[in-house]
Amino acid sequence: MSNRLGVVKTPFLGLPLLKEIQADPLTAATRLQHQCGDVAEFEILFRRIVYFFSPEAVRKVLVDHHDDFERETRLLHIFESFQGRNVLTTEGADWERQRRLLTPAFSPKRMDGYMNLMQAAIDSCVSEELPTVPGQHPSVDVDAFTTRITMDVILRTLFSHASSREETRQASLAIRALSRQSMREVYWTFVPPGWLPYPGRAAKMRNLQSLRRLIAAHVDARLRHRSESRTEAPAVGDVLDMMLQAGDDDARLSTQEILDNCMLLFGAGFDTSASALTWWIGLMATHPEVMGELRREVDAACADRLDLAGMARLPFLNATIKEAMRIYPPSTALFTRVAKRDMAIAGTAVRKGTLVVAPIWQMHRNERYFANPETFAPRRFLPGAPAIPRGAFMPFGAGPRFCLGQQFASVEIALIAAHLVRHFELDLESGDELPQPFVDLALKPKTPMKVRFLRRDGARRAATRAVGI
Ligand code: HEM
């Protein structure tokens, strides 16, 4: 119910609306957008909340007025209880220092080195999980496959550690359970202190312990190795190495901060990339004409291994990845800020303490900026296509807190995607209809997405047989 443009009446302290958002944040935000247009304002439990659906307003919040907003304290507390105090869960000077010290590990010039580690993960996981013999075409649970491969990538690039299938299976079960628990806690009306027994606490503690053990074992081993070698340890060339070397005597990451940031980078480093790849694979499996065009580009551009220069020669591959992230943005949840003072944003009064939401899903599907927004049309991202307005496409966020791993994720996703295009035909088992998405921190398929992976030379042989050659 709306009593004037943009203002939504929320009876019963807004609890029914809170329940609606909690059950399905994407559908709830779409309903608010249809009801209100570019701005939806309401109160839940006396808290003012504003959804800004226009890119202009969202850029004002994240970029132009970033100093006037902060991350929500309650959200930071919840994430801190999972990951400790890292670059995601801190604010102000603490965040600035950690971000400055971590940035070199994710600079473009580090990517060449990481690409070798990424390629090793791709070769190993593809040979373990996908058919190696022409003619085989098993049906694969896409999300399990992309989780396996992106987790191996992050473990190799963080710690130079090649993971086993069982190790990634265990860790991904723990991460999934923790993601669900964190999404649950975010919508609780009361955040219980850590010592109080609350629903899900025991499983949360158990899963956290097993993940912390995994991360701490790598960090401890590296610290031991450095201290035993007594001289400045030779660089291994992974992200942990960069963290240990970062800064000077005035500003360094403490051992605890290194552990907490490894917890964050491990989770953030594979879950969102896995989500991006899952939806990309689903879209390619249902758009064979796009796949055919892409294959011609990839075959022409790379003889064997891709390097950074080679990637620049793959505009259509990059366009398909961007278009997949437009339709299915991996990180849609909890993109929020709190106003530190009274102000006006794009003509809307925003009072101090207001929770501002940037609903990326709806922004990416706004027909004002994207013609036929539900259609998979990668050409809209090709050089020479009409310019996309600033802020209308922001899978990695914007402003000073934009994704630290943007370059890393882009290289990783392109490497994996190029490998799949060159070696496999993809075919969605259930026909043309992709599963519905749901927000599980990252955007995941609600029901398993099953795709048949058919080795390409096998596909060609089958086609040749079919025409009797
Ligand atoms: C497709 C993959 C990815 C997507 C879509 C994505 C998306 C995002 C978004 C939207 C934010 C900003 C949230 C906000 O402003 O509130 C963010 C922050 C962040 N991301 Fe990513 N991310 C991806 C991959 C990665 C990877 C691979 C890493 C690291 C290896 C990473 C590390 C981080 C970190 C550390 C932050 C917090 C930055 C800060 O607060 O200063 N992300 N990511």
Report pLDDT digits (tens) over 76-113: 999 999 999 999 999 999 999 999 999 999 998 889 88
Q: How far is the CA of 402 from the centre of ligand 1 (A)?
A: 7
- Distances in Å between the Cα of 447 and the Cα atoms of 143, 289, 331, 438 are 10, 25, 19, 9
397 lines ligand 1 (CB under 6 A): yes
Assigned token pair, 269:
């480093």
Q: Could you give the domains of the chain?
A: 103-327+393-466 (1.10.630.10)
pLDDT in tens, 286-300: 999 999 999 999 988
Using CA positions, which residue lies closest to atom 16 of ligand 1?
335
Inform me whether the pLDDT recorded for 119 exceeds 80: yes
- State the pLDDT at residue 261: 97
More confident residue, 380 or 312: 380
Determine the residue of 186, 257, 272 to mutate for testing ligand 1's pocket, defined as the one with the most ligand atoms within 8 A of the Cβ atom. Answer: 272
Residue 232 pLDDT grade (very low, low, confident, very high; cuts 50, 70, 90): low
Indicate the pLDDT class of residue 464, thresholds 50, 70 and 90.
Answer: very low
Which atom number of ligand 1 is nearest to the Cα of residue 71?
A: 16
Binning pLDDT at 50, 70 and 90, where does residue 467 land? Answer: very low
CA atoms 28, 25, 89, 153: torsion sign: negative
Euclidean distance between CA atoms 131 and 133, whole angstroms:
6
Question: What backbone torsions phi and psi does residue 430 show, to the nearest 5 degrees?
Answer: -90, 20
Work out the end-to-end distance of the chain between its first and last CA atoms, rounded to an integer number of angstroms: 66
Quick check: 415 and 149 in contact, CB under 8 A?
no
Instruction: Please compute Rg for the chain using Cα positions.
Output: 23
Q: Write out pLDDT tens, residues 430-460.
A: 888 999 999 998 999 999 999 999 998 644 4
Binding site membership of 52 for ligand 1 (Cβ less than 6 Å)? no
Q: Decide whether any atom of ligand 1 lies within 6 Å of the 335 Cβ.
A: yes
Is the CB of 269 within 6 Å of ligand 1?
yes
Mean pLDDT over 132-155 rounds to 91
Q: Can you tell me which residue has the tokens 């609903």?
A: 359
How does residue 5 score in pLDDT terms, banded at 50, 70 and 90?
low
